Amino acid sequence: MGADPRNEIAAEQAYVDGLFLRLDEEVATAHERLDAVQAEVDPSTPDADALVRRETEYHGLQAKLDRLNLAQLGLVFGRIDIDAPGDNPTPDGLDRRYIGRMGLDAREDNYRTLLLDWRAPMARPFYLATTAHPEGVVVRRHLRTHGRTVTDVNDEVLSGAATGIERAGVASESALHHAMQQARTGHMGSIVETIQREQDEIIRDNNRGVMVVEGGPGTGKTAVALHRVAYLLYTHRDYLSTAGVLILGPNSTFLDYISRVLPELGETGVVLSTLGNLFPGVTPTSTETIDAREIKGSEAMVDILRNAVRAYQVLPGTELTLSIEQLELTVTPNMVKAARTRARRSRRPHNDARLVFSEHLVESLAQALADKIGADPLGGSNLLSRADVDQLHDDLAEDASVRAAIDSWWPELDPQEVLAELLGSRERIAVAAQDYDDETQQGLYRDVGEAWSDSDAALLDELAEIIGMPDPDSVAASEKASWREQIAEAENALDILASSDSTDNDDDMFEAEILSAHDVIDAETLARRQEVGDRRSTAQRARADHTWAYGHVIVDEAQELTPMEWRMLFRRSPSRWMTLVGDPAQTGSPAGVDDWAQSLEPFVGQRFRHHHLSVNYRTPRPIAQLAEAVLKEINPEAEAAAAIRDGEAVTRLSHAQAQADDFDLTPGTTHTADGRLRAVVTSENVEEIKGLEFDHVVVIDPEQIVAASPQGLQNLYVALTRATQTLTLIGALPGFLRAALG
């Protein structure tokens, strides 16, 4: 713009200093209020309402302090001067708006806006404006900071004669170039400074249904999904802070990779999980074969699991004689069969239907017993009344031998026990999967039934539906009832203590002192638990509850979900408000997504919105062109995203050349001498790098990657597109790659 950059930096530094001063005031005020809240209630005389108010405000202040402290990481990153009237006019009469990670208002001057939260509607032109569509923006400025120091400014003139050059619909090209040239660190960087127009439209989409975001490698699918979470939490905070947000990723490495993005955006109240860890209480520790993954991911498992549960609903082979108060009572197979039929027709989950089974069988036994002891010796009608039969029913229901018989014919089940017994037994598999071939049955078997793997979570979740599990709220209610009983006992102890004050008996006084030392404290503790209630955050409660209904669900690498995993996912989203990001060309799961419409049809029909990201911001052109050769093998009609970055050529080496060059060919991730992140990828670890990016990628034996899995082409496509700087190929190449390299 012709101005001295040093003067521009100095001017921006003065403004940024003012922003941090205001932020420090906010932090100090929050700390003062936090101290006051902690001092407001006397712990020795707790008042229930006061405790609740204090707890609520205390946690609210802690959350606010977390947001304020995190906001200091790149507090402000941009500025736009808009040709419109506003609160902060420039000398030229433009409206000047500073954009950052949170909003700040001045205390004086009618709370004039000092800094716009990037999610606020007035900040949107910062992301939408291009030279072709300036959105009223005359100048867009990018501010680069280190800590609280402004280190650089960069201006783009977006309207008027001296405009920049727009390429592939990309705005903020200088800032984007700077971001892409930075060394990878093993943690995902925020794109909040460089969000592009097509990404912004997805982030702010107000659709309240299922939304699919499809895009090739390097198009920013993950970053868009995470910034959409932050945007939704900003615009629907009251609802989502209560209902919670679930973010699912493909593996724990990926979750660690993205873990810093949301806190940097000022949001920490979400549940991050892999699909394998989504069922509470189970942690996958074992790997499994491709065949097992395909079978366990298929919808055929619904019937197999139902059959596995029905196998516990057994019939006796012969009559059973029970001794009831010195009387012999015969239980026939037909009695049990009738009770089982009644229970199954109730269409309740197994454990709930057990009550129907028990009730019907006990009623049959009561009638049989009544016929035996109430028969009129003169041949008249039974001498027992309905009330007498009801009493027999109640007595039989409490009889140990009757309860044992019910347990053997319709036991109460647990999903983990059922699945472990199924997968660890060829006999049980043969019964449950009798309609399937030997290969399918063999694929399900494993030596140790409890050796949990990632695909087991969806099966456990399905079993929880088939079997029925206690509602966590009802468990909490029973715990509260227990607390009340303990409080009553403690209060009785206090009554003893009070009455002992007037006695001269030393033994009574000694007993009272013991009671006061334990029960008084216990009563106070229990009272606090009872009155204040569950102190866990929404995220903590949601993670522990397999029935939790999330307000919004984000799934990254959604193309990996199997039919069984889709069923598990939609149980957690009864509102069907989801953001699904993925690319079928990168599907590594043998039971994963080939077509979005086909996968989603059982749950939402055709009622989903489909966005497509068209620009590859990450991959240098030479690498992208090579990867496109793999894409055409996967789907000849697929159109690759437009790569906009220049880069070095791809290097091809034989194993001998690599050894001569002293290449470290150990699979995994390391840093090079210049601090850049390098990944060595083989057929063994290719699925572990899904969703990640590295400065330098070394792919060993691409031909073997293709041959190792039915999804080998997709896995190779993933491997080739992880690099942001250089790609090295070592070993045998498929013919189409040799042709692409010339």
Binding positions: 215-222
- Residue 724: its H or E element: strand 723-730
d(CA 115, CA 96): 10
Contacts of 94 (CB under 8 A, 6+ apart): 81, 82, 83, 84, 86, 138
Q: What is the DSSP letter of 4?
A: -
Angle (CA) 438-444-448 rounded to 5° is 130
In a 3-state reduction of DSSP, which class is residue 618?
A: strand
**Which has the closest alpha carbon to 533: 5, 28, 54?**
54
Question: 32, 5, 19, 25: which is closest to 77 by C-alpha?
Answer: 19
Rounded to whole angstroms, the Cα distance separating 407 from 342 reads 17
Sign of CA dihedral 564, 565, 568, 573: negative
86 burial type by CB count under 10 A (0-12 exposed, 13-18 middle, 19+ buried): middle
- Contact between 190 and 100 (Cβ < 8 Å): no
Q: Which two tokens stand for residue 196?
A: 């592009």
Match 């090579």 to its residue by tokens: 626
For CA atoms 484, 486, 489, 495, give the dihedral sign: negative
Nearest to 543 by CA among 221, 142, 304, 246: 246
Backbone angles phi, psi at 641, to 5 degrees: -65, 150
- Cα dihedral sign, 572-575-581-584: positive
Q: Tokens 């609210």 — which residue? A: 60
Sign of CA dihedral 283, 288, 294, 298: negative
Of 593, 652, 631, the residue nearest 715 (C-alpha)? 631
Binding-site positions for ATP? 215-222
Number of H helices, E strands in the chain: 29, 21
Please tell me whether residue 509 adopts helix, strand or coil conformation.
helix
All residues at 6 or more sequence positions from 458 whose CB lies less than 8 Å from its CB, including other chains:
275, 296, 297, 562, 564, 565, 567, 568
Q: Structure tokens of 361? A: 């069988």
Q: Quote the CA–CA distance of 338 and 358 in Å, as a whole number.
A: 11
Q: Give the residue from 297, 274, 240 showing the smallest Cα distance to 549.
A: 240
Q: Do the Cβ atoms of 111 and 133 come closer than 8 Å?
A: no
Neighbours of 676 (CB within 10 A): 17
Q: Which residue has the tokens 């003065």?
A: 14
For residue 137, the surrounding DSSP H or E stretch is strand 137-146
For the chain, report the end-to-end CA distance as a whole number of angstroms: 46
CA separation for the pair 193, 555 (Å, rounded): 23
Q: What is the token pair recorded at 74? A: 């790149």
| Amino acid at the residue 459 | L
Burial class of residue 427, CB neighbours in 10 A (0-12, 13-18, 19+) = exposed
Buried/exposed 233-252: b ≥16 CB within 10 Å, e otherwise? bbebeeebbebbbbbbbbbe
